[in-house]
A and B are shown apart, each in its own frame.
Chain A
Amino acid sequence: MPTRDLTLAMVGSGGDGVVTMGEMMAQAGARDGLNVIKVEAYGPQIRGGESSCVLRMSAEPISAQGDAVDVLVVFNWADFTRFKGEVVPKADAVILYEASDPTPLAEVKIPTATNATWIPVPFVDIATKATGTKAAKNIVTLGILAELFAIPQESVRKAVEFKFGKKKAAVLEANLKGFAAGREFAGTLSVDTSARKLEYVIRDPKLVMTGNEACAVAALHAGCRFFAGYPITPSSEVLHFLSEWLPRAGGRIIQTEDELSALGAIIGGSFAGVKSMTSTSGPGLSLMAEMLGLAAMAEVPTVIVDVQRGGPSTGLPTKSEQSDLYLAVFGSHGDMPRIVLAPTDVEDCFHATVDAFNIAEETQLPVIVLSDQAIGQSRQTVEKANLVHEVVDRRTPNAEELADYKRYAQTPTGVSPMSVPGTKGGMYQTNGLEHDETARPASSHVMHEKMSRKRFKKLDFVEEKYPLFVHLGPEKADIGIVCWGSSKGPVEEALKELAAKGVSVSAFVPRIIMPFPKKALLEYMASVKTLVFLEVNFVGQLYHYLRTLVDLPADTRVFARSGGMNLSVTEVKNRIESVLSETTVREEVRA
């Protein structure tokens, strides 16, 4: 029986073209309307070195990378060992490896692959014979994979044509030969891969993008016309994309000298009346702590995308972790209101970023979009039709309000109309100092209390209007998972598998962390028996933060561990199964 869901992994060195091959297959899948998730990993070398690409293609909706792969392609066993534990073949995986690899097969140990089909392939040989250069071995591999696993044949070929179409005719011809040679070679193999042949109906093409790109497009969509940023992995793609597209959209972008300056500049841009954004990762957000306070005090709408990586300090620059929650929620001195959103996948990066602009404009607060590397840099297919989102603009003063303009006028919502430079009669001199309604510096404790109340009142509005969360699984369940960010994907996948086994489990995934959708959480808590937190940070930052907001049951289980490795479906299942067995034991004891 063919499959509707296939995960492939390819491992090689810099020159092997693993990443290109993965990208071509992803594009081919998207062209046929398949759902695709692609994740790349690199060794520590800045350039060259080993790389891996894991690609899941499915005719069904998918929400996470499959943690065990159906098909593994290894150009070089030495490179593969560097990804041990990260690329895990299924027990019955099909493993294609370079026949001329010097490492004897006996030395290759893949404990999970107990029942695998091992196929030696002379990738280099086939490529050299068919095209005259071993450089085409990734194209040969595409041919082999397309043939063996019914990966969108026609589209893969089109991808090859597109890739080399702009080069000399001979180059295209050679690569097409390589592709054909791969298919031909696959035909000579006497292995049965029918269970792994992808079966699907061709649908309309989908878009393929990363979470970072989704944030960048969302900014353009929301009307952002000024961006200032400082490069940092794993967020730089936001800067890169906007450096091309913001000027086209009539906006302006600058690379600042540091993150203090980046946030300072966008505070300036937004003060001047232009929607503005910056993006960074943990080390940059640390530097921005000072300016966050200024944005909150002067009430300037600002949007900050933080693509989390492993910390503290320089930490694990290329790998994901969910450990900036404390900083985002509590960072900066004084009583400082701010909004923190947490997108859960690539598509949600778009929505969270537009929401961030909307909320920033509606409340004149800094809004942090707490993304993470696992969604920021993973490439996923997205339905274009889903990328629509209403845009809200700033509340500027009307003629009546300008007649006696007070920048920080007390209002029922705490939000005061904000005039922009260029407006006659709307002049004010704003401040990082505490100030009165007219923006004049004021240091009386009475004014300080009054203005603090005004600034914090704005959070009530957000909590009311934006109780953003996702409830996964059944309405009532024995076990209720609480997780956030990129963990939603693996949890959603695990839930499907657990439900199939009859396990009663659901999940609550907040998409806004500050102000937290407390009402929704309390309702959710009432719908489950045992709460289980799954977090990719060492201390359980979400759990401890929520303990300051609601009374969590004493028997709440917290599984928090450092990042560097994304939450996997298997891990989620194991955690839930361990909780189930403990719960049974406990009930037995009680009986």
Chain B
Amino acid sequence: MSSVVETPALPRFQPGDYKSDLKPVWCAGCGDFGVVSAMYRAMAELQLEPWNTVVVSGIGCSSRLPGYVEAYGFNSVHGRALPIATGIKVAKPELNVVAVGGDGDGLAIGGNHFLHASRRNLDICYVLMDNEIYGLTKGQAAPTTPSGDKTKSTYFGNPEPSVDPCELAISFGATWVARGFSGDMKSLVDLMVAGMSHHGFAFLNVMSPCVTWRGDDQFKVMKAKLRSLPEGYDRTNRAAAVPYLREKEVLTTGVLYEAHEPSLLDRLEGQRTNAMVGHENLTTEQVLEVFKPPF
């Protein structure tokens, strides 16, 4: 009999193992390349089993991401990544669920779902690729497009104020909120690892330039604005995050807020465990008893 000796030093999954053989459709230089690479590394760091992991998205350039990850994936419809992810996670809590998408997808058409997934403290990690524009539909204004910017749909300049996704997430009740930059790979991987490990709704806003509709400089401009949170920053203090929201001149990355609260699944599981007591192996017969005249 021969036996195979495994080399214990090597982890089972390497970043490359999470790369599917589908070639990305993204433009050369698109920030989303950085996001997907960071995801491969973060998944490898966490040793996520691909077959127990689902990456869900809506529609947009960024929402193509699940196709590039070797795991289960669901590229759904515009704005609806979170409802689908909610169903997957609640129905099968043992799966690792990551939702991804663009700013239009998550904040405009899907904004309501963002509010409620955060509020529920659903146990998933949501990565929003923020390019301050609608990429796929070729350059219209998004909720994150700075006021005054000329886009395809705002010929005379964007007449609307923009929002800060992190500010929304914190106020909606997300329990882990961070900002990252797709051009800062090392920090981004760390943020993803932390977000995916967080117990509860983790929101990661990744500034991810669209070279095609925001110009080649978006990358450079963002890089120049990059700052880190100061030493000793208290991320458990909601109020501490305020100075880092709605930033214009700088771009601060890092974990802005973190809290430890029961997730939706914890609450559901508690109820379910209690509810099942005395109803083990419930049959239709037994349920039908409810409809019998009780006297």
**Chain A residue at minimum C-beta to C-beta distance from B294:** A162
> A31 to B83, Cβ gap below 8 A?
no
Interface of chain A residues 406 through 452 with chain B (CB within 8 A): 421-433, 440-441
For residue A87, CB closer than 8 A to chain B, the reply is no
Interface string of B90-122 (1 = CB under 8 A from A): 111011000000000000000011011000100
Contact A271 B74 (CB under 8 A): yes
Q: CB of A256 within 8 A of chain B? A: yes
In the complex where A421-B54, A426-B51 touch, is A294 in contact with B76 (Cβ < 8 A)?
yes
A559 at the interface (CB under 8 A from B): no
B interface size (C-beta, 8 A)? 57
Task: Tell me which residues from 233 to 269 in chain A have a Cβ below 8 Å from any Cβ of chain B.
Answer: 245, 247-252, 254, 256-258, 260-269
B125 to chain A, nearest CB (A): 16
- At the interface with chain A, which of B151-159, B237-245, B274-282? B274-282
CB of B22 closer than 8 Å to a CB of A: yes
Partner of B284, one of A28, A221, A248: A221
| Residues of A close to B53: CB separation below 8 A | 421
A250-B276 in contact (CB<8A): yes
Asked if A6 is an interface residue, CB under 8 A from chain B, the answer is no
Name the CB-closest residue of B to A163: B295
Tell me if B34 counts as interface (CB < 8 A to partner A): no
The minimal Cβ–Cβ distance linking B8 to chain A, given in whole angstroms, is 22
CB pair A269–B282 under 8 Å, yes or no, is: no
Q: Distance (Å) between the CB of A292 and the closest chain B CB?
A: 11
For B293, give its contact among A31, A228, A271 (CB under 8 Å).
Answer: A31
Contact with A along B255-271 (1 / 0, CB 8 A): 00000000010001001
Cβ of B173 within 8 Å of any chain A Cβ, yes or no, is: no
B9 interface residue (CB < 8 Å to A): no
Bound: A565/B295 CA distance, A? 34
**Contact B112 A258, beta carbon cutoff 8 Å:** yes
How far does the Cβ of B38 sit from chain A's closest Cβ, in whole Å? 19
Q: In the bound complex, do residue A207 and residue B292 qualify as a contact, i.e. CB atoms below 8 Å apart?
A: yes
Interface assignment of A108: CB less than 8 Å from any CB of chain B: no
| A88 to B77 CA separation, bound complex (whole angstroms) | 51
Report A316 CB to chain B, min CB distance, Å: 27
One digit per residue, 1 when the CB lies within 8 angstroms of any chain A CB and 0 when it does not, for chain B 65-105 equals: 01101111111110010111111111110110000000000
Map CB proximity to A onto B148-180 as digits: 1 under 8 Å, 0 otherwise.
000000000000000000000000000000000
Report B-chain residues with C-beta under 8 Å of the C-beta of A262: 83
- How many A residues, CB 8 Å from partner? 70
Q: Is B10 an interface residue (CB 8 A)?
A: no
Q: For B51, give its contact among A158, A290, A424, A429 (CB under 8 Å).
A: A424
CA distance A274 to B87 in the complex (A): 10
B70 / chain A contacts, CB cutoff of 8 Å: 427
Q: Judge whether B272 is part of the interface by a CB distance below 8 angstroms.
A: yes
Q: Do B276 and A248 touch across chains, with their CB atoms under 8 A apart?
A: yes
Identify which of B71, B91, B272, B288 gathers the most chain A CB atoms within 10 Å of its CB.
B91
Which residues of A have CB within 8 Å of B80? 260-261, 264, 290-291, 294
> Once the chains are docked, how many angstroms separate the CA of A258 from the CA of B90?
17
Contact B77 A276 (CB under 8 A): no
Please, how many angstroms separate the alpha-carbon atoms of A252 and B93 in the complex? 10
Name B80's closest neighbour in chain A (CB-CB).
A264
- Chain B CB within 10 Å, residue with most, of A28, A252, A431: A252
Min distance, Cβ B52 to any Cβ of chain A, angstroms: 6
> B56 in the interface, Cβ–Cβ < 8 Å?
yes
Tell me which residues across on chain A come within 8 A of B90, comparing CB atoms: 226, 228, 252, 254, 265, 269
Inter-chain contact A257/B112, CB cutoff 8 Å: yes
Residue A339 lies at the interface, judged by CB distance under 8 Å to chain B? no
Query: In the bound complex, do residue B84 and residue A264 qualify as a contact, i.e. CB atoms below 8 Å apart?
Result: yes
Contact of B74 among A158, A274, A422, A429 (CB under 8 A): A429
- Cβ of A76 within 8 Å of any chain B Cβ, yes or no, is no
Closest to B93 in A: A252
Cβ distance A377 to chain B, nearest Cβ, rounded Å: 15
Bound: A276/B112 CA distance, A:
22
A421 and B83 contacting across the interface, CB-CB below 8 Å: no
CA distance A398 to B91 in the complex (A): 23
* Separation of A252 and B270 alpha carbons in the complex (Å): 11
Q: For residue B122, which residue of chain A has the nearest CB?
A: A254
Partner of B73, one of A31, A225, A248, A428: A428
A247, B278: Cα distance in complex, Å: 12
B293: chain A residues within 8 A (beta carbon): 27-28, 30-31, 155, 159, 205, 208
A387 near B: Cβ within 8 Å?
yes
> What 5 A-B pairs are tightest by C-beta distance, nearest first?
A268-B87, A264-B83, A429-B73, A269-B91, A265-B87
Would you mind naming 19 contact pairs between A and B with Cβ atoms under 8 Å apart? A155-B295, A207-B291, A247-B268, A248-B275, A248-B276, A249-B276, A260-B83, A262-B83, A264-B113, A266-B87, A267-B84, A269-B92, A272-B88, A421-B54, A427-B50, A429-B75, A431-B75, A440-B22, A441-B75
